[in-house]
Structure 1
Amino acid sequence: MQGPGRTGRGRGHLRHRPGYAVLAALLVAAVGSGCAAGTDSRTVTGAGAGAGPGAKALAGQPGGPAGNAGAAGTRAAQAEKARLAQAARVIAAKKWGLAGTPLAAPAPPAVKPHITTRKGFEVEGGDDSLPPVFTTVPTEKKIVFLTMDDGDDKDPELLRMMSELNIPYSAFLSDYLVRDDYAYFKDAQSRGVTLNNHTLKHRYLPGLSHDEQKREICDQQDIIEKQFGSRPRLFRPPYGNYNGDTLRIAKSCGITAVPLWSEEAFPDHMEWREEDQDLHPGDIILTHFRGQKDWKGSMPDLVRAVMKVITDKGYAVARLEDYV
């Protein structure tokens, strides 16, 4: 299978304005602490259970809220938390020079959607037991998913920008580009970024033997688990190319899904898989950890450009792993 054509170490060029940072920090603190009432998941579970400062009595227990009142209080607290989070995002969008404030994604589904291989992306002899290969997640919500490949450019501005804007994204890493600075991606992981498999050396997999493919895929699984503490479930083959061996090997070492992409983002344009050249609910957007040496722009430039397209079209960015 062939994905769309794929076209550093750049650094963001914004001059940070302390006023924005202070206001954003205050709002984030309010979200994290001032709205905690009604959302603490710890409960008193029985007589004699410790009821320290963080414990919360269950509805109907002595000192606990009435059921309906408790639910209403929780909803009010959640609504206030969402309001403050969006206010912080407004400030961050101005600080980072975005054309508009990113929209907030809806809550993820309680049950993840059933995903199957996209028609035309099947492999010979394949069946439903293999990890599905797809470009769009089935949903009616106006959300898209942002993914970043390879790992060459390690711009600290990107980490700060995405954290302050609260924009989720998923990384697909190739070890030959990542191994010189695992700490950068540990930092990304600590900020909520899921680290997924993009092979050891980014080779064209259908041209490799079974054993060579296994080294590329499964050895990368082992490295990510060793370096970052968890074994990936998601795998993206380089260039979007794969065959039956690829999917069977990926499954054998823990892969459950193979997300490709519907669009690819660059600092100065978008490339579209579909003829209508538009976003659709559940689309997966691809971009790369690259910078000035590879394209005319830094990673923050890339984020500003792709978020303008996403926001102008009325979409929010959701977390891929919440749906897959």
Structure 2
Amino acid sequence: MSGRGARHARTRAGLAVLAACAVASGCAAADARKAVEPAPGQQPLQAPPAPDSHAGKMRTAQAARVAMAKKWRLSKPPLLAPPAPAEKPVIRARKGFEVDGQENLPPVFTTVPTKDKVVFLTIDDGSEKDPAFLKMMSDLKIPYTAFLSNYLVKDDYGYFGKMQSRGVTLNNHTLTHPYLPGLSYAGQKREICGMQNIMQKQYGERPALFRPPYGNYNRDTLRAAKSCGIKYAPIWNEEVYVDHVEWREEDRDLHPGDIILTHFRGRGEWKGTMPDMVRLLMKYVTDKGYAVARLEDYL
């Protein structure tokens, strides 16, 4: 074969090889596409979010919440409350709960005006001091507000100090838990202002919130409370026990902004423990689509 013929033959062979390679590449690309493209009706596979991405952090946080709920024997993790409102609602005395001269006195109310699907947990007196309760509320990140009576907390101020260090606001529930309307103005003032002094000494703050024992009060109660630096006198719309819930309203239901009452109680006075009460409470509010929010965030 002449030199020119040999060159033509080599060129034709090279072109054939290139064509074969192109066909092979096309087939390989098609195979690759088939490997990643979903079959009809199927969703494409996606890589899991990176651990440090927002979605990854949310997934990790939710997994931790589910695990913590399981640890404390809750069927569902507590719902997350929305951010605290930038503009606080105006708090007024509940209709029918006013006293003469109410506009200048701390309002008594059972519900915070809000459209947020939240409720507020408040706990009274201080009789039971259960370490498991502190641990449970910290683990589950459930906010609550305490109203303390000195005659019940004075044997262990430190227990409530631990509570305060975890972000719980400690408030005034009088020195000895009396029926306040049965006392003179001076007697009521001693009970309320005396507890303010104890709170200042033990916890470094004079509370802005006061709850009258049994929810009973008169004009002198609110006058005395104001003179001691009290701004609000929240009571409650529902009360939760270890085995049942009681309601103030006839509809026997939760409402946005409702204040829920319970007590520091244990087996000596209940048929269970404070963690048992929390389990009942959280099932009740979570099943109804409510989150527990921090009362002070709305005041």
Distance in 2 separating the partners of 1:160 and 1:232: 24
Instruction: Flag the 1:91–1:219 CA change in 2: closer, same or farther, 3 A.
Output: same
Indicate the residue corresponding to 2:35 in structure 1. none
Pick aligned residue for 1:310 from 267, 285, 290: 285
CA distances 1:225-262 after superposition (whole Å, capped 9, x unpaired): 11001110000000000000110110111110011000
CA distances 1:7-27 after superposition (whole Å, capped 9, x unpaired): xxxxxxxxxxxxxxxxxxxxx
**How far did residue 83 of structure 1 move?**
5.0
Pick aligned residue for 2:64 from 74, 83, 88: 88
User: Structure 1 residue 122 and structure 2 residue 98: aligned?
Assistant: yes
Distance in 2 separating the partners of 1:284 and 1:87: 29
Residue ranges of structure 1 left out of the alignment (5+ in a row): 1-33, 36-75
**How far did residue 112 of structure 1 move?**
1.0
Indicate the residue corresponding to 1:195 in structure 2. 170
1:226 is matched by which residue type in structure 2? K
RMSD of aligned C-alpha atoms?
Answer: 1.5
1:220 is matched by which residue type in structure 2? M
Distance in 2 separating the partners of 1:143 and 1:212: 37
Q: How does 1:171-210 map to 2 (within 5 A)?
A: 171-210=146-185
Pick aligned residue for 2:266 from 291, 296, 301: 291
User: Structure 1 residue 238 and structure 2 residue 210: aligned?
Assistant: no
Distance in 1 separating the partners of 2:228 and 2:57: 40
Instruction: Flag the 1:255–1:83 CA change in 2: closer, same or farther, 3 A.
Output: farther
Q: TM-score, normalised by structure 2?
A: 0.81
Distance in 2 separating the partners of 1:170 and 1:164: 17
Residue ranges of structure 2 left out of the alignment (5+ in a row): 1-50
Larger Rg: 2
Instruction: Flag the 1:81–1:255 CA change in 2: closer, same or farther, 3 A.
Output: farther
User: Structure 1 residue 268 and structure 2 residue 249: aligned?
Assistant: no
SS, match of residue 188 in structure 1: helix
User: Structure 1 residue 321 and structure 2 residue 293: aligned?
Assistant: no
User: Structure 1 residue 220 and structure 2 residue 191: aligned?
Assistant: no
SS, match of residue 180 in structure 1: coil
Which structure's residues are more often helix, by fraction? 2
Contact 1:89/1:166 (8 A) holds in 2: no
Q: TM-score, normalised by structure 1?
A: 0.75
Distance in 1 separating the partners of 2:172 and 2:94: 20
SS, match of residue 124 in structure 2: strand
User: Structure 1 residue 139 and structure 2 residue 114: aligned?
Assistant: yes
Indicate the residue corresponding to 2:27 in structure 1. none
User: Structure 1 residue 108 and structure 2 residue 77: aligned?
Assistant: no
CA distances 1:127-179 after superposition (whole Å, capped 9, x unpaired): 31111110000001110000000000000000000000000000000000000
Contact 1:133/1:260 (8 A) holds in 2: yes
Percent identity reads: 69
**How far did residue 84 of structure 1 move?**
4.2
2:65 is matched by which residue type in structure 1? R
Indicate the residue corresponding to 1:258 in structure 2. 233
Distance in 2 separating the partners of 1:81 and 1:200: 46
User: Structure 1 residue 97 and structure 2 residue 73: aligned?
Assistant: yes
Instruction: Flag the 1:218–1:89 CA change in 2: closer, same or farther, 3 A.
Output: same
Contact 1:86/1:104 (8 A) holds in 2: no
CA distances 1:30-85 after superposition (whole Å, capped 9, x unpaired): xxxx97xxxxxxxxxxxxxxxxxxxxxxxxxxxxxxxxxxxxxxxx75x7665544
